[in-house]
A and B are shown apart, each in its own frame.
Chain A
């Protein structure tokens, strides 16, 4: 770890840093994912011998090249500040002894389900290790399974996730946004008989598209009346007696709306430095780096409520398409390729990748290599065959998606 030099002005400072390079200057778009912050500089006491040396060197600008090879050199943090930053690296924890630890589990047996975003749910089950081991032993698969269904239990399960025997939580990907889900934790007995351990309360995924409902109701809310007295007012909402919108105006506004969603860059309380650093945390897709990642693929849907109204053919119609999402997790510092293409990991080590899925057989190879060179690989085979009855069109699909292998592979 490099310590800051003694003299302020003449010698460039290198701070101890292993996080990815952060630059404030625009146009640097790195895919680098910010990794764990380096250990903080050790106490000031440790600095003394080095400072004596540095003072002896005072006045010399040591060319960077002479220092290379000592330690991996990372450029220091630079630019405007970052929320809660106390220095270029995270500080060492200050206070002394560590108190008792939190319990590993409370053993209530409850299943918690929370929606995290339009396509991800979080499930956690409160089983003690002993309880979990007992259920694992009863299970034919030797591990538990989480089933996620839309609506209520009894509906056809949308997703079944076989969880690691030691896991007590899982992030689950779901297809449908704006949907109420319920989850069941259980296991399969020998003979594929399902046994439920716990059922969750419902969780609703947020929408990720503009609404197709264009009805308009207006209400007048006087500022001086308490809301509790007004409750009925807004609900009654008077239907709009506005003239129907001019087509040209509607189109211009729709363009602005589409532009808004296209430009969404999650500027907010995220640190500027992280914003400048690049798209690391965004869901990886084959989209061009210049465009921020679309919100779960609704790019095509944004234009449809407004534009499609004019293009829709007369009579009954059906358009559809298919996509493939491959997702998973590994050590945050591993390198992963999917179908031969390197894939960025999010800081927590998760990743996902979307392919278009045309008719045909496709094989996708996923490999993960750890920093020490250990390899894990999986080969997934998919096949799509479409048969139409009546005229069926292709629904618009993100044009930047590619099929799993270059060209068709029948």
Chain B
């Protein structure tokens, strides 16, 4: 055995929950991800357990994602979405009765969605609990991330905000999984040295940086990215292995672009008659994805051929074998150079597997099975296990870096989204002012206090102000503004949270709270019920 491979899947979605609308388009991010990524991943784990495999994978479940997965309103809406999807698949089975290739696919989708519903119901609609169970069984290490996935280096000059993002996440993880988090996924792998203190306070033992975060560390790491380093605070920093990343993500030769795989964009929600699809669309008055897609990528021309499921599965198998061989070759080469077994760290967005790349879960399944059963060159491991086995490493300070485009913070700070930061700066200072001015909230209201008593009302307002600030700090909004996938929505979210925060701030300072309005806002932005606003002190 010449080395270790740490596969890390990072599952994250921003907090999107709109009780004020019956249906809301952007809630579809969650529904699509559950149907195409999270439930299939759970099914893979169940398969491995059933077949007696012992893989070790790492999974990030961010606090905002966990909150949504555990939210009853969203669970109900997801079930409704899934039922409608199955109904649509049934209609498709009938509509395509005389069109053989489409009919086969319609039948396939119908049975696939049915299986998703079965799994979802069997775990009691509690995906977080289901993954937690696999952590207890030893298949997964589940790690946390920042509370609302803020880009931490851009908060770094306001240490209380940094502290709040990390400690709120840690608290939330405890409530979801009943244990302490050991590892943390820094949002976008974005690291600056000033994160150390709060990571130490939270006892978070390891994180991942992009390749150059380790290669540019001071002093120079002796083993490049093939071993972690300890920061001066004793926290381990693992560097992403670029070879493993390139084969899956690369623009030149990445697997997901293979012409046999399903095309993401040719969805019947856009292709078919409006009246027919309308009841099944995610938003009431515009076209959107349904999840039923009949075409494969085929090539660069707009003429698409029908998706051939069997051929796509064969492609996934081929690619899994190729990926395995490439890793084995990498380990053999490294064995000649290094005097200790290397670790390759391969992190990916979880949504890549299944949602953006439909055959991703099959690829993962083939790969894990091959890695466990067909080879002895490397072992699948989690970073935590690796540190327990190998507790001695070089001490160095990683370089400030991220895995975003260009390697730093350009994606989140450019002409399209720079307007956000001055507002956040002011809001952050104001939150600290509030936390210092009203230090006495005990976090839990004294028994017997009236829900509308001034003291309790104030406590609620302070907590809500904290929630609004956290939601405004999410890195997803500037990211979306930059990539342009849903810019109106992102802009609106930042604005609304900042405006609500400002109003709460003004009301608290003037000691003139509005209980009706507060109740409304609490109902809409109900993230982190037990948030401790005093982290901002």
Contact = CB atoms under 8 A, between A and B. Distances in A.
B285 interface: yes
A288 interface: no
A137 B28 CA distance: 52
Contact of A215 (B189, B219, B223, B400): B219
A77 to B, nearest CB: 5
Interface in A68-95: 75-88, 90-95
B406 A268 contact: no
Interface in B204-225: 204-205, 210-212, 215-220, 222-225
B251 interface: yes
A221 interface: yes
Interface centre among B192, B205, B406, B476 (most CB of A within 10 A): B406
Interface in B232-283: 232-236, 242, 245-246, 248-254, 256-257, 259, 261, 263-274, 278, 282-283
A322 to B, nearest CB: 24
Contacts of A66: none
Interface string B288-306: 1100001001011111100
Contact of B302 (A14, A34, A45, A226): A14
A23 B300 CA distance: 5
Contacts of A263: 242, 246
A264 B349 contact: no
A124 B423 CA distance: 11
Given A40-B286, A81-B357, A25 B299 contact: yes
B283 A94 contact: yes
A221 B286 contact: no
Interface in A338-368: 346-350
Contact of B496 (A99, A112, A206, A260): A99
A278 to B, nearest CB: 8
A101 B499 CA distance: 8
B399 A86 contact: no
A84 B215 contact: no
Contact of A78 (B25, B218, B265, B355): B265
B488 A256 contact: no
Interface size band for A: 35 or more
Contacts of A176: none
B230 interface: yes
Contacts of B236: 221
A252 interface: yes
A154 B387 CA distance: 47
A185 to B, nearest CB: 13
A235 to B, nearest CB: 5
Contacts of B289: 86-87
Given A8-B272, A114-B421, A220-B391, A92 B251 contact: no
Nearest to A122: B413
A27 interface: yes
Given A80-B297, A82-B264, A260-B224, A90 B487 contact: yes
Interface stretch (B455-463, B477-485, B528-536): B477-485
Contact of B25 (A94, A124, A221, A275): A94
A206 B399 contact: yes
B492 A91 contact: no
A223 interface: yes
Interface string A193-216: 000000001011011111111111
A277 B230 CA distance: 37
A172 B34 CA distance: 42
A270 interface: yes
Nearest to A38: B484
Nearest to A306: B220
B21 A25 contact: no
A48 B278 CA distance: 12
A208 B401 CA distance: 9
Contacts of A87: 265, 267, 269-270, 287-289
A14 to B, nearest CB: 7
28 contacts: A6-B272, A9-B294, A25-B257, A26-B257, A75-B302, A78-B265, A78-B300, A81-B356, A82-B356, A85-B485, A90-B484, A94-B21, A94-B283, A102-B498, A102-B499, A115-B409, A124-B418, A124-B421, A169-B418, A206-B400, A211-B217, A212-B220, A216-B219, A221-B230, A222-B391, A227-B200, A227-B235, A281-B405
Given A45-B285, A105-B422, A231-B200, 5 more contacts: A86-B485, A201-B157, A213-B220, A227-B199, A265-B250
Interface of A: 4-9, 12-15, 19, 21, 23-29, 34, 36-37, 40-45, 47-48, 51, 75-88, 90-95, 99-102, 105-106, 108, 110, 112, 114-118, 120, 122, 124, 126, 169, 171, 201, 203-204, 206-223, 226-228, 230-231, 233-235, 237, 240, 245, 249, 252-253, 256-257, 260-261, 263-272, 274-278, 281-283, 295, 305, 329, 346-350
Interface of B: 21, 24-26, 28-29, 99, 102, 154, 157, 188-189, 192, 199-201, 203-205, 210-212, 215-220, 222-225, 230-236, 242, 245-246, 248-254, 256-257, 259, 261, 263-274, 278, 282-283, 285-289, 294, 297, 299-304, 336-339, 349, 351-352, 355-357, 384, 387-388, 391-395, 399-401, 403-411, 413-416, 418, 421-423, 425-426, 476, 479-480, 482-489, 492, 495-496, 498-499
